[in-house]
Amino acid sequence: MLRRWGHLCTLPWVAVLLRVLVGGVFVFAGFSKLLLPHAEVIEHIQQYQVLPGWLVSITATFLPWIEVW
């Protein structure tokens, strides 16, 4: 399997394309969160149940800006 896909890593345009795609996902996710009310972003982050309660509000404040940046 690696032989089939391994040659793609040597092509510079593949790396650029992947960077643009991943960057586009982050920019889209960040802007979609910036357009929502802050309380709704908090609810979305709370649904994952990964962060402690005191960290959810801070994350909801800074995460969209970090994703866009």
pLDDT digits (tens, 9 = 90+) for 26-65: 999 999 999 999 999 999 999 999 999 999 999 999 999 9
The answer to whether 34 and 64 have CB atoms below 8 angstroms apart is: yes
- Structure token pair of residue 55: 């960290």
Indicate whether 13 pLDDT > 80: yes
